[in-house]
Amino acid sequence: MRIILAAPRGFCAGVNMAIESLEKAVALYGTPIYVYHEIVHNRWVVEHFKDKGVVFVDNLEEVPESSYLLFSAHGISPQIRQQSEARKLKTIDATCPLVTKVHLEAIRFARDGYTILLIGHAGHDEVIGTMGEAPDVFRLVQTVEDAATIQIQVENLDRLAYLTQTTLSVTETADIIARLKERFPRIVAPKKEDICYATQNRQEAVRTLSDQADVLLVVGSHNSSNSRRLAELGKSQNVPSYLIDGPDDIDLAWFQGSETVLITAGASAPESVVQECVDMLRWRFGGSVELQSVREEQIRFTLPTLPTLLHDPLRGETA
């Protein structure tokens, strides 16, 4: 078996920042520390922190007043910030800066009287947070069909704009934008495209390297949008493609042993899990492993400011 490791793959700068923030908070404050939604969409990462005593919640009523609360990489709505303040929670904002950029664009467009078409997936944490900035002005567009049929009541078509979720398929999003521009020639674009660099780079690697592959393995969880897009991209290149959480999900029936297997990982998948998958395939089929890189990534984000430790006389320690 020939195994090609695609690069770039795995953790992006936003995921690194969120995970490092939570690791630092646990070391500094101890547990329990609460996280609103999953820190990132990856089962291994979430289980790692659960084992340390981190508690993941979907409702702030589950968080005791005055506790430490970290906001996940996907961002939150202003309503969640207000609820956190009302409950006197000590918050750490680990929102990816590239998601924050989309939020700021939404605020600017809403302030200037625009109706905003948000290209994204209904129910995704990032979409919920972005639309929460100005719920009355957003309309969600998920497909090219949506772009072709959506009905909008706008008095001034110069006040129509679009934004996108950061983890979408580059090609599908381009098709949706093209259809919107066809229907609404004066629609306003964000100053800089919203799909993040890491999503684009990982898709570029799969697109570039898949012509060498008989099978594509994408390491990532099924609730990870960018990981699902990688598997869909492989299938669109006519390569049998499988989204796997880890080596236990690998079905040996997918292989005869003489294939070229391309392995990549979504932006929230740990490299340690990738290596476990490689080790399993090499143990079963032998063969070679090679790295093929299509682009270098040097981006790193500064960690958010953590709440100041205060002495808690009831606990006899700092808190």
- Between the alpha carbon of residue 271 and those of residues 45, 52, 126, 302, the distances in Å are 11, 20, 24, 21
126 is known as an active-site residue:
yes
Rounded distance between C-alpha atoms, residue 165 and residue 294, angstroms: 24
Helices (H), the chain: 13-29, 43-52, 78-86, 97-111, 125-131, 144-149, 170-183, 197-209, 225-236, 271-285
Tell me which of 61, 62, 85, 126 is the catalytic residue: 126
Q: Which two tokens stand for residue 14?
A: 């936003």
Rounded distance between C-alpha atoms, residue 185 and residue 288, angstroms: 52
Closest CA relative to residue 121, chosen from 11, 198, 223, 242:
223
Residue 124 identity: H
What are the φ/ψ torsions at residue 164 (nearest 5 degrees)? -135, 150
For residues 130-147, one letter each, b for 16 or more C-beta atoms within 10 angstroms of the residue's C-beta and e for the rest, the string is bbbbbeebbebbbebebb
Residue 125 identity: D
The number of beta carbons lying within 10 Å of the beta carbon of residue 36 is 26
Q: Which residues are catalytic?
A: 126
